[in-house]
């Protein structure tokens, strides 16, 4: 095992090119108060794929931009791992399609790159980074880097409560030695259990117990934090400059952040300094039954989130990670990586020097598993983040009406036969152009 520094060298995203305004367009048709979306869920808009986009085109477009920007050729890549929960084939991995797309625009090929597909709901993107990290640390990479692509079309059945949180997009990450963006720590914590909160038993749209999935997220995350602390020591309140969480919708992160802060300040000077204002945290030994203890904890948490200390911490450490998510919705496997990117972008905009600071990355996938690890921001981070074109991509999206949304949902529903014109004109990107004779999907690059 080598002790080389390994982490994320570069990152890029590609958003679905359509935008649905949740407050203005979706809420009125659903008979909802727009504030349910903007304030409750914390979402303003969802991204959707145009008719010629899917998980392959979005993933390949993000990877293409990343490779071109870093001056990479296929021979520099030793593995391509795709994380998705929107795959359309039970055997052939999406990574082979993405490699095929990239071979259309780069010289050479990926014949000597190991390709795979990772599935564990939204945590699979982080697991793919892990696989790449282990491969490099084991010294099996022969000087090559790994390309990790997290790509999803997070669509729910019409009228499912999850419809409010939909989204579509991809994140491509280059995992390499001596990374420019973040170094990944060896210490990890897991919280994992057999849960039935969200699943797709051979069906396109998920069966979801939404309220339960929120509870499972929090329970498994708590376990992962405790497991992480068992190897890395107790997390201190100001240890992490940013806490990127898996973000199915920002309201979920608001709940998780309150529990994280409460946990971090326990038995610290911060808890002590807040004692006059809101009391100390209840301790289980002071209660006869669990219910009374949990009620007291809930009341303490309600008081805690109203304090200036909490508001200041949340504004610095959590809120910056939600900037992109608010405007794109849930990208499943990509969402925690969008949160990291978002937090780093805000720091760059505000001139905050993060070099050497720690990020606490908190991933989650239904079914269910949470994973927590630390990352150290590297000296090259500002140059990397400055090259992203996130705002350009978000602003270039075509705003769809509700009637158009209904068509777009049908276009991407495997059970519907549709003939819908594209809403945007593709340029310098990969497009889906139909099916081949064995039911394979076919792609081309449009100049
Ligand atoms: N003004 C302000 N807030 C409002 C509001 C209004 N007019 N109307 C509702 N809200 C708040 C609610 O209080 C709730 O916040 P809270 O949970 O902090 O109390 C939030 O908005 C959502 O409202 P709710 O009525 O719970 O929404 P819902 O029943 O439609 O379902 C989910 C919400 C998350 C269960 C649903 O979107 C879902 O199933 N999502 C998919 C699964 C998922 O993402 N799970 C997360 C873990 S991975």
Instruction: Determine the distance separating the centroid of ligand 1 and the alpha carbon of 190, expressed in angstroms.
Output: 26
Find out whether the beta carbon of 366 lies less than 6 Å from any atom of ligand 1: yes
What are all long-range contacts of 112-116, with beta carbons under 8 Å and residues at least 24 apart?
Answer: 112/75, 112/78, 113/74, 113/77, 113/78, 113/79, 113/80, 113/144, 114/78, 114/79, 114/80, 115/79, 115/80, 115/81, 115/82, 116/79, 116/80, 116/81, 116/82
Q: Whose CA is nearest to atom 13 of ligand 1?
A: 40
Domains of the chain are 6-446 (3.40.47.10)
Residue 197 and residue 208 in contact, taking contact as beta carbons nearer than 8 Å: yes
Q: Nearest to residue 144, comparing CAs of 12, 13, 6?
A: 6
Written as six digits, the tokens of 430 are 């990969």
To test the pocket of ligand 1, the residue of 22, 34, 38, 41 to mutate (highest count of ligand atoms within 8 Å of its CB) is 41
Helices (H), 195-307: 210-232, 250-265, 269-278, 290-304
Instruction: Determine the distance separating the centroid of ligand 1 and the alpha carbon of 255, expressed in angstroms.
Output: 11
CB 116: neighbour CB atoms within 10 A?
15
Can 101 be counted among the known catalytic residues? no
> pLDDT (tens digit, 0 to 9) for every residue of the chain, 447 residues total?
557 899 999 999 999 999 999 999 999 999 999 999 999 999 999 999 999 999 999 999 999 999 999 999 999 999 999 999 999 999 999 999 999 999 999 999 999 999 999 999 999 999 999 999 999 999 999 999 999 999 999 999 999 999 999 999 999 999 999 999 999 999 999 999 999 999 999 999 999 999 999 999 999 999 999 999 999 999 999 999 999 999 999 999 999 999 999 999 999 999 999 999 999 999 999 999 999 999 999 999 999 999 999 999 999 999 999 999 999 999 999 999 999 999 999 999 999 999 999 999 999 999 999 999 999 999 999 999 999 999 999 999 999 999 999 999 999 999 999 999 999 999 999 999 999 999 999 999 999
Q: Full-prediction pTM beyond 0.95?
A: yes
To test the pocket of ligand 1, the residue of 34, 210, 366 to mutate (highest count of ligand atoms within 8 Å of its CB) is 210
Find out whether the beta carbon of 35 lies less than 6 Å from any atom of ligand 1: yes
Quick one: DSSP state of residue 239?
S
Can 327 be counted among the known catalytic residues? no
Quick one: DSSP state of residue 185?
E
Find out whether the beta carbon of 244 lies less than 6 Å from any atom of ligand 1: no
């Amino acid at each position: 095992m080598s002790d080389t520094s390994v982490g994320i060298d570069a990152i890029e995203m590609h958003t679905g090119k359509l935008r649905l305004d949740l407050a203005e367009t979706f809420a009125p048709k659903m008979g909802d108060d727009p504030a349910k979306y903007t304030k409750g869920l914390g979402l303003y808009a969802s991204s959707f794929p145009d008719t010629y986009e899917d998980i392959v085109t979005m993933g390949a477009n993000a990877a293409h931009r990343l490779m071109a920007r870093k001056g990479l050729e296929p021979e520099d890549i030793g593995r391509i791992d795709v994380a998705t929960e929107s795959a359309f084939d039970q055997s052939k991995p999406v990574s082979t399609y993405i490699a095929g797309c990239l071979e259309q625009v780069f010289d050479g090929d990926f014949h000597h790159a190991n390709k795979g597909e990772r599935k564990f709901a939204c945590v699979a993107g982080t697991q793919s980074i892990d696989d790449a990290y282990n491969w490099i640390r084991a010294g099996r990479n022969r000087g090559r880097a790994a390309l990790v692509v997290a790509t999803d079309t997070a669509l729910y059945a019409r009228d499912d409560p999850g419809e409010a949180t939909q989204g579509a997009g991809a994140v491509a990450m280059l995992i390499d030695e001596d990374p420019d963006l973040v170094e990944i720590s060896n210490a990890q914590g897991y919280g994992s259990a057999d849960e039935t909160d969200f699943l797709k038993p051979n069906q396109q749209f998920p069966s979801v117990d939404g309220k339960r999935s929120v509870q499972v997220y929090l329970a498994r995350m708590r376990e992962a934090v405790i497991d992480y602390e068992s190897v890395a020591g107790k997390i201190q309140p100001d240890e992490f400059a940013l806490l990127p969480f898996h973000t199915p919708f920002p309201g979920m992160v608001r709940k998780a952040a309150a529990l994280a802060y409460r946990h971090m300040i326990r038995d610290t000077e911060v808890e002590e300094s807040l004692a006059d204002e809101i009391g100390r945290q209840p301790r289980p030994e002071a209660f006869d039954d669990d219910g009374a203890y949990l009620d007291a904890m809930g009341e303490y948490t309600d008081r805690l989130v109203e304090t200036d200390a909490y508001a200041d911490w949340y504004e610095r450490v959590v809120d910056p990670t939600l900037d992109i998510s608010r405007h794109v919705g849930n990208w499943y496997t990509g969402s925690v990586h969008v949160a990291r990117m978002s937090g780093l972008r805000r720091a760059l905009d505000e001139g905050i020097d993060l070099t050497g600071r720690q990020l606490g990355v908190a991933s989650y996938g239904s079914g269910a598993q949470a994973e927590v690890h630390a990352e150290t921001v590297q000296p090259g981070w500002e140059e990397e983040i400055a090259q992203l074109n996130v705002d350009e991509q978000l602003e270039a999206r075509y705003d769809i009406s509700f009637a158009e949304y209904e068509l777009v949902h049908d276009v991407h529903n495997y059970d519907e036969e549709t003939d819908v014109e594209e809403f945007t004109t593709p340029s310098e990107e990969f497009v889906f152009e139909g099916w081949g004779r064995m039911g394979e999907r076919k792609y081309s690059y449009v100049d």
